[in-house]
Amino acid sequence: MPVRSSKDVVESIFGPIGPVQARQQEAMKTLETLQVRDVMERHFVILHPQTTLREAIGVFVEKGIEGAPIVQDVALKGILTNQDIVKLFEEKSLELSQHRHRAVNYEKEFRALGDKKVAEIGRRKISVFPNTSIFDAMTVMEENNLELIAVTDEAGAVRGIVNDSDILKTLMKILV
């Protein structure tokens, strides 16, 4: 994947930058200088590795969130997002549809998915440090197809999260 500059990112969102787009230039500079600690959420939901998928879905719906880090003690074990859950159910549906020649109890199969532990489902542990630039965090998120990333300190303790909405809100403040 080619290395993208902040100019490339801003142009992909807002179009080519010309001499009159001073606000876009400002957005580029901000992406490079603003740090994750400036936009991260410090109060966030965490999932324990033994939390079931059913429980996690309930928390996501109740809290209106798109994902959460999986944390044991203070250490990041992974991330679970709505995207991961949808993908899991899509894969199971595809698998079951290939067994049309035999009776399949879809409800039973999907209930079994709900009993899985989030530690079995969550993505690998990808994080950034609080002093990471917003641009670099966006790059990590894009390269790993994440809409949420954990923020950890040097010891690996989770200190916050950043999601794509946090970054968009920051961009909107700059551009409006």
pLDDT for position 1: 54
- Predicted pLDDT of residue 101: 61
- Full pLDDT tens readout for the chain, 176 residues: 565 666 676 666 666 656 546 666 666 777 778 899 999 999 999 999 999 999 999 999 999 999 999 999 999 999 999 989 999 989 888 887 777 666 667 778 788 889 999 999 887 789 999 999 988 998 999 898 888 999 999 999 999 999 988 888 887 776 66
pLDDT of residue 3: 59
Domain boundary assignment for the chain: 6-175
**CATH number, domain 6-175, options 3.90.550.10, 2.170.190.11, 3.10.580.10, 3.10.50.40:** 3.10.580.10
Quick one: CA dihedral 133, 170, 14, 128, positive or negative? positive
Q: Determine the pLDDT at residue 61.
A: 96
